[in-house]
Amino acid sequence: MLRIKAFPGLRPTVPLVAEVACVPYDVVDRDESAALAAGHPHSLLHVDRAEIDLPPETDPYSDGVYAKARENFVGLQEEGALVRETEPCIYLYQQRMGRHVQVGVATVCHIEDYERDIIKKHEKTRRDKEDDRTRLIGTLSADTGPVFLTYRDSATIDALVADVQKGAPLYDFTAPDGIQHTVWRVAGAQAFVEAFGKVPESYVADGHHRTASAVRVGRERREANPNHTGNEDYNWFLAVLFPASQLQILPYNRAVKDLNGHSKAAFLEAVKRAFTVTPNGSPTPQRPGEVRMYLDGAWYDLGWQPAANADPISQLDVTGLQDRLLAPLLGIDDPRTSKRIDFIGGIRGTDELVKRVDSGKAAVAFSMYPTTVEQLMAIADANQIMPPKSTWFEPKLRSGLFIHTF
């Protein structure tokens, strides 16, 4: 069963919380990070993306970046922007994005639950990205950004959450992107610990690199400690656990830069041999088993019949598109490494696909129906790995609202 516990972490002071809390490190590049942090000296981006405080030509994986991150992290504590909790606690973290609301439990989970597949994963990690976060977490002895976990709904946990929400929140602010973030503090939280102790498994929804990196750091500390007992704080990592029914997965769309030597007419004819193709003015698929293609100023509906009783990965729309079109027609054999394909998060909408094709930056684009939470769980339960860029979760969790140190 799943283990969580309360922890005496660091958190921002109430007046500075909106400035400290920042977008996840991996959804912005260096220039975007620098722009967001400009004029905001307490933003945690100065820790998570410390290269923004060094010359532009700095290698983001150089020794100086991690040293600067440590310097900035210590500085936030010395200045009083980050304060230490006086007792172990967990937090409820609510996000409101338009009409969508989700409420998770912010806590720490045990690295052995990840190793034993009680916390299940569905993506491969890239070694360079994993190495980067491993080094940052190790340098700071802290998890600054939480992992996004999900679990099958529990009426017991729902009742505990509802009871806490009757009280006044610790934080309540709306970020510049319009997403409202509300946090309640729960001291001790033994009832939550016991309730999650009856949850048989959870799933990494977003943050596979952060999870794998935290586990690596825990293993390194364990191996270096001759007096290791298993109770040390490095055995735990920061996470927010959301009930599956509340999650919102947006599509992860595709754009390909060229037609692999085909003319537009020849390509369209080849697509018609692999799919049922219908001209369609709507850019958004209405159900699984549909993909909308934008080519030469027009939208097309691509339909097919997935194989019956196939494994869960074969049932995914992204798999159907990859196996029927991207690989055989466009030569995208490995979308993880190909430089000819771009992935566009659904938060940017289908207008971005039209813009790319009409501008000539892409030759063809594909609007996808979002993968479901049930599909994600089925693949993880089968110990399989999802195709790359299959899910885009919104809203993203802000970093810096609560920090686990060890």
> Which tens digit of pLDDT belongs to each residue from 125-163?
889 999 999 999 999 999 999 999 999 999 999 999 999
pLDDT digits (tens, 9 = 90+) for 89-116: 999 999 999 999 999 999 999 999 999 9
Q: Which backbone phi and psi does 110 adopt, to 5 degrees?
A: -90, 135
Burial label for 5, CB within 10 Å (0-12, 13-18, 19+), is middle
Nearest to 316 by CA among 260, 226, 376, 276: 376
What residues form DSSP beta bridges with 142? 405
> What pLDDT is recorded for position 387?
87
> What pLDDT is recorded for position 126?
84
- Three-state DSSP at 157 gives helix
In whole angstroms, give the CA distance from residue 179 to residue 45. Answer: 18
> What pLDDT is recorded for position 278?
95
- Quote the percentage of the chain above a pLDDT of 70: 100
Q: Is 107 left (phi over 0), alpha (psi -120 to 50) or beta?
A: beta
CA distances from 182 to 7, 80, 168 (A): 19, 21, 10
Residue 170 tokens read as: 């610790």
- Three-state DSSP at 384 gives coil
Burial label for 265, CB within 10 Å (0-12, 13-18, 19+), is exposed
Asked if residue 231 has pLDDT above 80, the reply is yes
Residue 229 tokens read as: 């007992």
Number of H helices, E strands in the chain: 13, 21
CA distances from 352 to 72, 114, 249, 287 (A): 36, 37, 18, 21
Residue 31 tokens read as: 């220039």
State the average pLDDT over residues 12-33.
96
State the average pLDDT over residues 313-331.
95
Asked if residue 15 has pLDDT above 90, the reply is yes
Whole-prediction pTM value? 0.89
Q: Which backbone phi and psi does 319 adopt, to 5 degrees?
A: -70, -45
- Three-state DSSP at 171 gives strand
Residue 297 binned pLDDT confidence (cut-offs 50, 70, 90): very high
Nearest to 287 by CA among 263, 307, 317: 317
Asked if residue 237 has pLDDT above 90, the reply is yes
Asked if residue 37 has pLDDT above 90, the reply is yes
